[in-house]
Amino acid sequence: MRSIEFRRISTKPAERETSLQFLIDGVSFLELVREAELPGALAEPAPLLAGDYAPSTRLSVEHLLGGAPDRVPHGVEDDEHLLLGCTCGIDDCWALVAKIATSEDTVTWSGLRNTYRDWDYGRIGDLTFSRRQYEKALDTAFGVA
């Protein structure tokens, strides 16, 4: 099982806006995505597109637990949830989505995909977390704990 940390980072300090950064086993999720996307981006050739996302703002605990999505970018299936949006701030422009499934003991992100590119995320695979650790990380990030 993997570990996850949700870290709030300031994006617009004057407006007190924050984004949510994900760390998987202590490594930036964005970096894992960049590494997975690079072969596809190089084949296009568009290497600068690999990992070209911004940590999302306005994602709720419910969204991150697979509940009703907070935001639904163009091209997203009913069971997919936004994880990362475009650097321009418009999710319909470019988004990374996944299915989020919960059980009594686990939370799993599966089916990672970019809404506009058919890239292979096999090197990341499904990410399964202890539900207890996942919820504790959410509580910490959202100021519950």
**Distance from C-alpha of 50 to C-alpha of 40, rounded to nearest angstrom:** 8
With tokens 């950064």, the residue in question is 21
pLDDT band at 55 (very low <50, low <70, confident <90, very high): confident
- If you ran DSSP here, which 8-state letter would residue 103 be given? -
Residues in the chain: 145
- If you ran DSSP here, which 8-state letter would residue 76 be given? -
Indicate if the pLDDT at residue 14 is higher than 90: no
Average pLDDT on 36-59 reads 92
Q: How many CB atoms lie within 10 A of CB 87?
A: 12
- If you ran DSSP here, which 8-state letter would residue 31 be given? H
Q: Which helix (H) or strand (E) holds 85?
A: strand 80-86
The more confident residue out of 17 and 112 is 112
Q: pTM of this prediction? A: 0.92
What six digits make up the tokens of 85?
């949006």
CB 106 within 8 A of CB 131: yes
Domain coverage including residue 22: 4-141
The structural domain count of the chain equals 1
Of 57, 68, 81, 66, the closest CA to residue 6 belongs to: 57
